[in-house]
Structures are given as C-alpha cells and as structure tokens.
C-alpha cells in the first residue's frame, strides 16, 4: 500500500479496501520507525492525524452532506513546516519559532484539510526560514537523503522530499523561492512542481522573499502532482499577490499526445558547469521526448548567468524586511537575559537566528541601505526584468524549455556548508524561473552512481497543465519515477 499512487489510494479508500485511519496508521508507523534516521519530520501528532482520518472516513461513508468527500479525501500527506496549521507547532526550521503554535490555518492547509479532506501526517523539516539548498541550516538538524544517508536531500524542502522518497508519506507540500521544490525533488527522485507566481496563495506561508516564494506539490509522479495541485490553487482575497483567474483541472489534459511539442534547449544550460554524467542523463531524457513526437530547437537565455547574483541581492533584501517581525515582542523566542528593549531585540535575534539567516539579513540590510540601494537592489531588479524578457522571447519559438534541474547529484553532508557561494550555485538552473515568476518542475530522468538525476521543465505563464502533461507522458514511457530507495522497502 505504501508505494501506491494517490489515484490508487483514492480508489482503495472509495472501495472500502482500507480506511483512512488504517492508511494513516500505516504511514505514522513508518515515520516512527524511519524518521530517527532521516530526520524528515520535526512534528508528528498521532492523535491529531488520526482524528482527521476519522473525520475523513465519516465524509467518505456519508457520500453526501455538508462536507462531501472529494477525490483525495482520507489520503495522508506531509506538510512543510513553513505553512501555519492551527494547533500545530510551526517552526520554519528555526529556534526563533521552535515553540510557536499557530492560531490559524494557512490557505493551503485550509484548502487541503478542510475542503479536500486530506489528512496531515505532520510537519516536515526544512532549511531555516527556507534559506538553504541542502537542509543543513535547520535548527533541528540536517535531513538525510534516503538514497544515501551520508548525503543531503536538497533544500529548502528537503524534509518533504525525503519523506516522500522514503514513503513516509505518499505526497507532500513544498515551497520554492529559488528552486526549493525542484532541486530536492531532483536529488530524491521525485516529481516537484513550482507553479506560476500567484497561482497558489501565500497567506499563512511564512515569508522568506515575498516576490519569489510559491507553494507547490511534491510526489512520485506528475499525475499525483496534478491531483494535489487541484487542491491547492485558487484566488485568495487575503493574499494581495493571489491571482483571480478561473481554476483549472490539472488532471484533465494529462493524456494529450506530445506530437508537435517544441522543446527549447537553452545553450546556456548545456555548456560548462554541469556534471558530465548528469548532462548525459538529461540528454537521454530529451531523446526519449523526440521518440514521443517532440522536436527540439536551440534557444538562448543570455542573461541567465546573472540570475544567481541578482537573486542573492533581491531575496536577502526581502528577507531582511520580512524577518524584522521576529523581535521577541509578540511571539517566538525571546532572550532570557537583557538590560533594555534594544538589548532584548539584539540578543533575541542573535540567539534565535542561525548563521545562514543572519548572513542573509545582513546582506539584505546592506543592499537596501542609503547609498547602496541604487547600486545593488535597483540594478538587480533591472536584471530581473531582462531575465524575464529572455524567457518571453524564448517562448516565441518553443512550448517548453528543458535542461538539468541541478548541476550535480546529491552531495555529501557538510561538503559545501563552509562555502556559501558553492552552496548558492546548487540552484544555478532553477533561480531564473522564480525571478521571472514562471512555472517549473523537476522529473526523475536517471541515476548516476546510484543517485537520482532530475530533468527540469519550464513553461510559459499559467502553463502548469502543459508541464504536467509533458511530464506525465514521459513517465508513461519510462520507469525512473517508480524506483525507490532501499529504505522505502
């Protein structure tokens, strides 16, 4: 049962082959057994989860009523610990919020649990305030990759990725600010989708960089991601960046043939900087698409090499503003000993934030300061516009852009921890998508030395349905996404 897809689990629940309580218990038992090794979950509350499962079983049994069962009612999933959930500890992987119990639900949580009837198995570990590419900056310790526990799972949604890869949960939520869904999906052999900016509400999703953050699904397959995305999207008047547009059914177009699909291959993605074996796996995946009826065309993203420096001006600037609310006054950690108000602020933030968060706050405050705003922040925003324009131009000659998700397979724990620049370069292929606000996803496309490789798909604005279709057809022709680590046996 643990390796079944969301569709298969939904069919089993509908046919009364298993109850939501039994299914949730199965996964909770696996979490209890395997999480001490993987550290994928930071909060598990068996009683809360089973209470939700009992409610789901009642909805399924009732068939109709005030809360009718939906397609995924009763299915347990994991939630990244960046989403506020009423009555649950919501830590954001930080000492600053280690004891914070949310008084309300994020819109994504509300939609999934109250409306769709999904069951929460718990909150997953993450890089502190989503700042990291390896899940090593968490206050609760690093997450370990189920494919090799000496290696990182990617970040910042590494806990969600490890949980699904090891089948501690059939699917999970993640957030993506510069690749934080796609990169861990690639390193853990999952399918992960970052939607167009504004398609999924950010209300109740603790902010890192407000103009870049976006929630999305992580699962074994594109079909599972489509089913999960259906429960996440929709206009939210509580989020000023939420887009008011018709809600789509992302499952409907999955079977569309790929004949005539034009795949853009950016020459900047296929030069130096990527491991040769990773690139070979990516090229083999593109060759498989050609067998499915697609054609390839070379495109150019001439400003993509500026995406990392632009991102590491814009994101820290927004983070320095967003994280100013964590001051020890209203909620979260407060330093136990201080002399006056200013001393309390200083000691609380010095003790409550980890090294990477403090590094980014300092960078952000610097680039926004008088005399440097025009030279750094404003210039980075201009470059951001150039990067977005490059994509607009590229999509005139192609339907979807493909390339590597990550320049390498999962690296060793601690390997890049002492070199922030090398860590930042882990997201070299993913960051431009966030700067432009486009949808992007990663799909499994092979292995190098027993470690997974991800193929990145980038679509035009609101092309999530097309991306899911393109990924699904590839997964019907290959079995990379069906492979599980030994720990998932």
CA-CA distances (angstroms) from residue 317 to 137, 354, 363?
19, 17, 7
pLDDT in tens, 447-473: 999 999 999 999 999 999 999 999 999
Average pLDDT, the chain: 96
Q: What is the dihedral of CA 190, 57, 21, 44, to 10 degrees?
A: 60
> What is the three-class DSSP state of 192?
strand
Per-residue pLDDT tens for 263-318? 999 999 998 889 999 999 999 999 999 999 999 999 999 999 999 999 999 999 99
| pLDDT, tens digit (0-9, with 9 covering 90-100), for 44-68 | 999 999 999 999 999 999 876 667 7
CATH 3.90.1300.10 fits 6-260+400-488, yes or no: yes
pLDDT on residue 66: 63
* H or E stretch at 365: helix 355-367
When pLDDT is cut at 50, 70 and 90, the band that residue 420 belongs to is: confident
pLDDT value of residue 271: 86
Q: Looking at 80, 111, 123, 194, which residue is catalytic?
A: 80
- Written as one string, the DSSP assignment of 446-475 is EEETTEEEEEEEEESTT-HHHHHHHHHHHH
pLDDT of residue 479 exceeding 90, the answer is yes
So what's the pLDDT on residue 272? 86
> CB-side exposure of 109: number of CA atoms within 13 Å?
26
Instruction: Work out the number of other CB atoms within 10 angstroms of the CB of residue 305.
Output: 14
Q: H-helix or E-strand containing 443?
A: strand 440-448
* Residue 144 and residue 34 in contact, taking contact as beta carbons nearer than 8 Å: no
Active site residue 180: yes
Instruction: Give the model's pLDDT for residue 424.
Output: 86
| pTM score over 0.95 | yes
- Active-site residue among 49, 120, 156, 320? 156
pLDDT at residue 309, rounded to an integer:
95
Residues 187-211 have pLDDT tens digits of 999 999 999 999 999 999 999 999 9
Distance CA 184, CA 245 (A): 29
What pLDDT shows up at residue 185?
98
- Where do the structural domains in the chain lie, given as residue ranges? 6-260+400-488
- Beta strands 400-404 and 262-266 are parallel
Per-residue model confidence as pLDDT tens digits over 161-179:
999 999 999 999 999 999 9
Q: Is 94 a catalytic residue?
A: no
Cα–Cα distance measured from residue 474 to residue 472, given in angstroms and rounded to the nearest whole number: 5
List 94, 157, 160, 180, catalytic entry: 180
Task: Give residue 65's pLDDT.
Answer: 64
Cα atoms in the 13 Å half-sphere on the side-chain side of 120: 28
Let me know the angle formed at the C-alpha of 228 by 227 and 231, rounded to the nearest 5 degrees. Answer: 100
Which of 112, 114, 188 lies closest to 148 in space, CA to CA?
188
Considering only residues 370 and 256, tell me which one the structure prediction assigns the higher pLDDT: 256
pLDDT exceeds 80 at position 127: yes
Q: Provide, rounded to the nearest whole percent, the portion of the chain with pLDDT above 70.
A: 99
> Does residue 150 carry a catalytic annotation?
no
Q: In the structure, what pLDDT confidence band is assigned to residue 421 with cuts at 50, 70 and 90?
A: confident
338-387 pLDDT per residue, tens? 999 999 999 999 999 999 999 999 999 999 998 899 999 999 999 999 99
> Where is pLDDT greater, at 370 or 154?
154
Q: What's the pLDDT band for 74 if we cut at 50, 70, 90?
A: very high
């Amino acid at each position: 049962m643990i390796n079944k897809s969301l569709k298969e689990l939904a069919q089993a629940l509908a046919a009364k082959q298993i109850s939501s309580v039994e299914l949730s218990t199965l996964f909770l038992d696996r979490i209890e057994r395997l999480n001490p090794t993987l550290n994928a979950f930071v909060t598990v509350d068996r009683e809360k989860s089973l209470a939700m499962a009992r409610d789901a079983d009642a909805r399924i049994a009732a068939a109709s009523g005030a809360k009718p069962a939906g397609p995924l009612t009763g299915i347990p999933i994991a939630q990244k610990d960046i989403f506020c959930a009423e009555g649950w500890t919501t830590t954001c992987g930080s000492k600053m919020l280690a004891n914070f119990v949310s008084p309300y639900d994020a819109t994504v949580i509300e939609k999934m649990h109250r409306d769709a009837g999904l069951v929460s198995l718990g909150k997953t570990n993450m890089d502190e305030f989503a700042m990291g590419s390896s899940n090593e900056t968490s206050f609760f310790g690093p997450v370990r990759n189920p494919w090799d526990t000496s290696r990182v799972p990617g970040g910042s949604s590494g806990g969600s990725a490890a949980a699904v890869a090891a089948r501690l949960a059939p699917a999970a939520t993640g957030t993506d600010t510069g690749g934080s869904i796609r990169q861990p999906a690639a390193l853990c052999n999952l399918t992960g989708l970052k939607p167009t900016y504004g398609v999924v509400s950010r209300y109740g999703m603790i902010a890192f960089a407000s103009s870049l953050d976006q929630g999305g699904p992580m699962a074994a397959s594109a079909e599972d991601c489509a089913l999960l995305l259906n429960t996440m999207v929709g206009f939210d008047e509580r989020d000023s960046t939420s887009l008011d547009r018709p809600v789509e059914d992302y499952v409907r177009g999955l079977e569309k043939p790929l004949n005539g699909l034009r795949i853009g291959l950016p020459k900047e993605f296929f030069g130096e900087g990527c491991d040769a074996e990773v690139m070979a796996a990516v090229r083999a995946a593109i060759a498989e698409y050609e067998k499915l009826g697609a054609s390839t065309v070379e495109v150019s993203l001439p400003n993509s090499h500026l995406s990392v420096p632009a991102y590491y001006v814009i994101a820290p600037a927004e983070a320095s503003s967003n994280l100013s609310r964590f001051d020890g006054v209203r909620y979260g950690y407060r330093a136990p000993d201080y002399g006056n108000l200013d001393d309390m602020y200083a000691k609380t933030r010095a003790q409550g934030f980890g090294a990477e968060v403090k590094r980014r706050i300092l960078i952000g405050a610097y680039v926004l300061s008088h005399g440097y705003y025009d030279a750094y922040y404003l210039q980075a925003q201009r470059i951001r516009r150039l990067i977005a324009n490059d994509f607009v131009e590229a999509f005139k000659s192609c339907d979807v852009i493909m390339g590597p998700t990550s320049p390498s397979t999962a690296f060793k724990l601690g390997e890049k921890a002492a070199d922030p620049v090398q860590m930042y370069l882990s997201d070299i292929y993913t960051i431009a998508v966030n700067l432009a606000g486009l949808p992007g996803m990663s799909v499994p496309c092979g292995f190098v030395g027993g470690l997974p490789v991800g193929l990145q798909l980038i679509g035009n604005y609101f092309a999530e349905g097309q991306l899911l279709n393109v990924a699904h057809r590839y997964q019907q022709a290959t079995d990379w996404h069906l492979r599980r680590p030994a720990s998932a046996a």
